[in-house]
Amino acid sequence: MMTDLKAMGERAAAVKLTLQELTTEEKNRALMTAAGFLVDRQEEILRANETDMDTAEQNGMSPGMLDRLKLDGPRIEAMAEGLRQIAALPDCVGECMEEWERPNGLKIRKVRVPLGVIGIIYEARPNVTADAFGLCFKTGNAVILKGGSDALHSNAAIVKVLREALQQSGIPEDVVQLIEDTNRAVTSAFMKLNEWIDVLIPRGSAGLIRHVMENSTIPVIETGTGNCHVYVDRDADLDMAVQIVYNAKTQRIGVCNACESLVVHSAVKEAFLPALKEALAEKQVELRGDERVRQTLKDCTPATPEDYGKEYLDYILSIRTVDSLDEAIAHINRYNTKHSDCIVTENREAAEKFLNLVDASCVYWNASTRFTDGFEFGFGAEIGISTQKLHARGPMGLRELTSYKYKIFGNGQVRG
Amino acid sequence: MMTDLKAMGERAAAVKLTLQELTTEEKNRALMTAAGFLVDRQEEILRANETDMDTAEQNGMSPGMLDRLKLDGPRIEAMAEGLRQIAALPDCVGECMEEWERPNGLKIRKVRVPLGVIGIIYEARPNVTADAFGLCFKTGNAVILKGGSDALHSNAAIVKVLREALQQSGIPEDVVQLIEDTNRAVTSAFMKLNEWIDVLIPRGSAGLIRHVMENSTIPVIETGTGNCHVYVDRDADLDMAVQIVYNAKTQRIGVCNACESLVVHSAVKEAFLPALKEALAEKQVELRGDERVRQTLKDCTPATPEDYGKEYLDYILSIRTVDSLDEAIAHINRYNTKHSDCIVTENREAAEKFLNLVDASCVYWNASTRFTDGFEFGFGAEIGISTQKLHARGPMGLRELTSYKYKIFGNGQVRG
- DSSP for A30-46, please give it: HHHHHHHHHHHTHHHHH
Chain A partners within 8 Å of B378 (Cβ): 100, 102, 108
Residue A1 pLDDT: 46
Asked whether the beta carbons of residue A213 and residue B198 sit closer than 8 angstroms, the reply is: no
Distance (Å, whole) CA B3 – CA B190:
10
Distance (Å, whole) CA B113 – CA B20:
8
Q: Which residue from A273, A406, A293, A309 is spatially nearest to B378, judged by alpha carbons?
A: A406
Chain A partners within 8 Å of B237 (Cβ): 412
Question: Are the beta carbons of A111 and A77 closer than 8 angstroms?
Answer: no
Asked whether the beta carbons of residue B357 and residue A408 sit closer than 8 angstroms, the reply is: no
- Each residue's pLDDT tens digit, A48-75: 999 999 999 999 999 888 998 999 999 9
**3-class state of residue A168 by DSSP:** helix
**3-class state of residue A143 by DSSP:** strand
Of B199, B237, B370, the CB nearest to A389: B199
Query: What does chain A come to in residues?
Result: 416
Burial of A309 (0-12, 13-18, 19+ CB in 10 A): middle
Of B221, B251, B377, the CB nearest to A415: B251
B228-371 and B5-222+392-409 share a CATH fold: no
Distance (Å, whole) CA A369 – CA A14:
42
- Per-residue pLDDT band for B29 (boundaries 50, 70, 90) equals very high
Q: Which of the two residues, A348 and B183, has the higher pLDDT score?
A: A348
- pTM confidence score: 0.92
Asked whether the beta carbons of residue A367 and residue B409 sit closer than 8 angstroms, the reply is: yes
Smallest CA–CA separation between A286 and chain B, in Å?
21
Residue B150 is inside which H or E element, if any?
none
Of B219, B220, B377, the CB nearest to A108: B377
- Each residue's pLDDT tens digit, A145-155: 999 999 999 99
Q: Which residue from A415, A383, A399 is spatially nearest to A89, judged by alpha carbons?
A: A399
**3-class state of residue A304 by DSSP:** coil
Average pLDDT over every residue of B95-115: 97
- Each residue's pLDDT tens digit, A385-407: 999 899 999 999 999 999 999 99
Percent of chain B with pLDDT over 70: 100
Q: Which residue from B359, B381, B375, B340 is spatially nearest to B131, judged by alpha carbons?
A: B381
Burial of B176 (0-12, 13-18, 19+ CB in 10 A): buried
Best of B212, B216, B389, B401 to substitute, by most chain A Cβ atoms within 10 angstroms, is: B389
Q: Which residue from A250, A220, A265, A230 is spatially nearest to A390, judged by alpha carbons?
A: A220
Burial of A271 (0-12, 13-18, 19+ CB in 10 A): exposed
Asked whether the beta carbons of residue A116 and residue B359 sit closer than 8 angstroms, the reply is: yes
Q: Which of the two residues, A282 and B65, has the higher pLDDT score?
A: A282
Distance (Å, whole) CA A368 – CA B400:
31
Average pLDDT over every residue of B371-395: 93
Query: What does chain B come to in residues?
Result: 416
Of A100, A247, A411, the CB nearest to B378: A100
Asked whether the beta carbons of residue B415 and residue A359 sit closer than 8 angstroms, the reply is: no
Residue B196 scores a pLDDT above 80: yes
Residue B1 pLDDT: 46
Asked whether the beta carbons of residue B20 and residue A357 sit closer than 8 angstroms, the reply is: yes
- Each residue's pLDDT tens digit, B275-313: 999 999 999 999 999 999 999 999 999 999 899 999 999
Residue B245 pLDDT: 98
Query: Could you tell me whether strands B199-203 and B259-265 are parallel, antiparallel, or unpaired per DSSP bridges?
Result: unpaired
Three-point CA angle B392, A129, A184, nearest 5°: 85
Nearest chain A residue (CA) to B198: A389
Chain A partners within 8 Å of B198 (Cβ): 388-390
Residue A214 scores a pLDDT above 90: no
Smallest CA–CA separation between A49 and chain B, in Å?
31
Question: Are the beta carbons of A236 and A328 closer than 8 angstroms?
Answer: no
Asked whether the beta carbons of residue A410 and residue B248 sit closer than 8 angstroms, the reply is: no
Tell me the average pLDDT of chain B. 95
Chain B partners within 8 Å of A368 (Cβ): 410, 413-415
Residue A3 pLDDT: 77
Fold of B5-222+392-409: Aldehyde Dehydrogenase; Chain A, domain 1 (3.40.605)
**Per DSSP, what are the bridge partners of residue B301?**
B288
Residue A2 pLDDT: 65
Nearest chain A residue (CA) to B216: A217
Residue A254 pLDDT: 86
Residue B361 pLDDT: 97
Residue A213 pLDDT: 87
The 8-class DSSP code of residue B93 comes to: T
Smallest CA–CA separation between B401 and chain A, in Å?
9
Best of B211, B228, B415 to substitute, by most chain A Cβ atoms within 10 angstroms, is: B415
Chain B partners within 8 Å of A405 (Cβ): 359-363, 393-394
What is the number of CB-based contacts under 8 A between chain A and chain B? 195
Percent of chain B with pLDDT over 90: 89
Which phi and psi (to 5°) does residue A166 adopt? -60, -45
Residue B143 is inside which H or E element, if any?
strand B142-146
- Per-residue pLDDT band for A205 (boundaries 50, 70, 90) equals confident
**3-class state of residue A204 by DSSP:** coil
Question: Are the beta carbons of A190 and A5 closer than 8 angstroms?
Answer: yes
- Each residue's pLDDT tens digit, A34-48: 999 999 999 999 999
Smallest CA–CA separation between A150 and chain B, in Å?
28
Q: Which residue from B379, B416, B384 is spatially nearest to B398, judged by alpha carbons?
A: B379
Question: Are the beta carbons of A236 and A207 closer than 8 angstroms?
Answer: no
| Domain residue spans of chain A | 5-222+392-409, 228-371
In sequence order, the 6+-apart residues with CB closer than 8 A to the CB of A55 are: A150
A273 to A196, A350, A367, B320, B411: CA distances (angstroms): 54, 21, 19, 75, 21
Sign for the CA dihedral angle at A275, A277, A278, A279 comes to positive
Distance (Å, whole) CA B403 – CA B236:
41
A153 to A57, A204, A320: CA distances (angstroms): 15, 19, 46
Distance (Å, whole) CA A31 – CA A171:
11
Chain B partners within 8 Å of A393 (Cβ): 403-406
Average pLDDT over every residue of B253-271: 96
CATH class of A228-371: alpha beta
Listed in order, strand segments (DSSP E) in B187-329 are 199-203, 228-232, 259-265, 286-289, 301-302, 316-322
Smallest CA–CA separation between A157 and chain B, in Å?
31
Listed in order, strand segments (DSSP E) in A25-139 are 96-101, 107-114, 117-122
Query: Could you tell me whether strands A107-114 and A142-146 are parallel, antiparallel, or unpaired per DSSP bridges?
Result: unpaired
Which phi and psi (to 5°) does residue B52 adopt? -60, -45
Chain B partners within 8 Å of A357 (Cβ): 17, 20-21
Q: Which of the two residues, A141 and A388, has the higher pLDDT score?
A: A141
- Each residue's pLDDT tens digit, A283-337: 999 999 999 999 999 999 999 989 999 999 999 999 999 999 999 999 999 999 9
Position A398: which residue type? L
In sequence order, the 6+-apart residues with CB closer than 8 A to the CB of B1 are: none
**3-class state of residue A344 by DSSP:** strand
Of A240, A393, A408, the CB nearest to B403: A393
Residue A232 is inside which H or E element, if any?
strand A228-232
Of A217, A246, A247, the CB nearest to B214: A217
Distance (Å, whole) CA A79 – CA A71:
10
Smallest CA–CA separation between A257 and chain B, in Å?
11
Question: Are the beta carbons of A71 and A80 closer than 8 angstroms?
Answer: no
Average pLDDT over every residue of A150-168: 97
- Per-residue pLDDT band for A206 (boundaries 50, 70, 90) equals confident
**3-class state of residue A220 by DSSP:** strand
Q: Which residue from A90, A89, A82 is spatially nearest to A34, judged by alpha carbons?
A: A82
Q: How many CB atoms lie within 10 A of CB A58?
A: 8
